[in-house]
Chains A and B, each alone.
Chain A
Amino acid sequence: MVGVVIVSHSLKIAEGAKELASQMTPDRIPLAVAGGTKDGRLGTDAEQVRSAIESVYSDDGIVILYDLGSALMSTELAIEELPAIQQARVAVVHAPLVEGVVTAVVEISLNKNWESIIVTLQEMDFGKAP
């Protein structure tokens, strides 16, 4: 099953998005969050992003949704630290965070594969990609 990682400056946003998306299906979707800094400030932390990825990683693939610019930078740093074989199955998508996570969870519950989920989510990009 494809997994989802939510990266937000705020742990509350990350957990809220997870909660909202989980309502969409009775299935247990592999969904991990990385929000805020280690010491509870607003911000993002590449190490936490990496642990979140590792906690839900499978060869079925991972999609990562993020909120603002530096969340993307921390995510990219985290991916660079992964083994190459895992890097190849981890995709950052530029869909709006909440809508993207909800859509991702629905698509996963419909057993869509990683490649097609990425296409669906990228179509939701409203100009967020840098």
Chain B
Amino acid sequence: MSLNSSQVKKVMLEIGETVEKNKEFLTELDLAIGDADHGINLTKGFRAVATKLSATETDDIGEIFTLVGMTLVGNVGGASGPLYGTAFMRAGSYAAGKTSLIADDFVGILEAAIGGIKMRGKAEAGDKTMLDALIPALNAFQEALKQGITVHGALTKAVEAALAGVNYTKEIQARKGRASYLGARSIGHQDPGATSTYLMLRTISKAVQTQGQPEK
């Protein structure tokens, strides 16, 4: 079994619900080292995503991701708009024409998203950004699949690695984004972008665990 288009749409809506539930939390994290709008901005963006998704009939998962990305670009306002927007648009190019996703596609999607965020934000691992959650998640997922662990197990590993990445962002100094203006004072605070990335991955994992087991 694999994730079909309507399941993917549902996961996108669930990501929006998670973001909304964590709106204050994310904004508070951003208050400490940024411009105190991360949760508010992402909530605006994903509310717009929900509206757009309810109005589309497409089965093309590439088109779904592209729509999510374009909507985030147009409605978020903060840096997470261009960054998540580009990530989803790149995922959209990867998934173009697909009507279902298997585990290997999750690898392809994460790779595309990471490439997009690196390009748009000129960031690398260790800059205290969303990449510090996303890259460890991808590595853990691939490693788990290689070891013959089930897709559900691999997703759990990916989410654990993302959370470890979020915790790692507390120890390092921001080199990108508004937090970089704080210099060493950004140390001790977890990165809001890495945190929202972790929350999204956790939502995806939870949804896949309940919706179905993707084929390897």
Q: Give the interface of A toward B (CB within 8 A).
A: 37-39, 41-47, 68-70, 73-74, 76-77, 130
Closest 9 CB pairs of A and B: A43-B77, A70-B79, A73-B82, A37-B77, A130-B122, A43-B78, A41-B77, A46-B73, A77-B82
25 contacts between A and B (CB under 8 A): A38-B75, A41-B37, A41-B77, A42-B77, A43-B76, A43-B77, A45-B74, A45-B77, A45-B81, A46-B74, A47-B74, A68-B178, A69-B79, A69-B176, A69-B178, A70-B78, A70-B81, A70-B177, A73-B79, A73-B82, A74-B81, A76-B120, A77-B86, A77-B120, A130-B122
Q: How far is the CB of A38 from chain B (nearest CB, A)?
A: 8
Total A-B Cβ pairs within 8 A: 54
- The secondary-structure label for the interface of chain B is helix
Residues of B with C-beta under 8 A to A38? 74-75
The tally of residues in B whose CB lies under 8 Å from a CB in A reads: 22
Residues of A with C-beta under 8 A to B35? 42
Q: Which of B36-90 contact A (CB under 8 A)?
A: 37, 41, 44, 73-79, 81-83, 85-86
**Residue B121 interfacial (CB < 8 Å):** yes
Residues of A with C-beta under 8 A to B122? 130
Q: How far is the CB of B1 from chain A (nearest CB, A)?
A: 36
Q: How far is the CB of A37 from chain B (nearest CB, A)?
A: 4
The complex places the Cα of A41 from the Cα of B35 at a distance, in Å, of 12
Nearest residue (CB) in B for A36 is B77
Cβ B73 vs Cβ A77 within 8 A: yes
The complex places the Cα of A43 from the Cα of B76 at a distance, in Å, of 8
Known contacts A69-B178, A73-B121, A130-B122; A43 and B37 CB within 8 A of each other: yes
The complex places the Cα of A47 from the Cα of B71 at a distance, in Å, of 11
Residues of A with C-beta under 8 A to B82? 46, 70, 73-74, 76-77
Centre residue among B44, B73, B77, B176 by max chain A CB count within 10 A: B77
The complex places the Cα of A47 from the Cα of B79 at a distance, in Å, of 14
Residues of A with C-beta under 8 A to B74? 38, 45-47
The complex places the Cα of A69 from the Cα of B82 at a distance, in Å, of 11
Residues of B with C-beta under 8 A to A68? 178
Q: How far is the CB of B123 from chain A (nearest CB, A)?
A: 9
* B85-111 near A? 1/0 per residue, CB < 8 Å: 110000000000000000000000000
Q: Which of B153-183 contact A (CB under 8 A)?
A: 176-178
Nearest residue (CB) in A for B41 is A43
Residues of A with C-beta under 8 A to B44? 39
The complex places the Cα of A38 from the Cα of B86 at a distance, in Å, of 20
Residues of A with C-beta under 8 A to B41? 41, 43
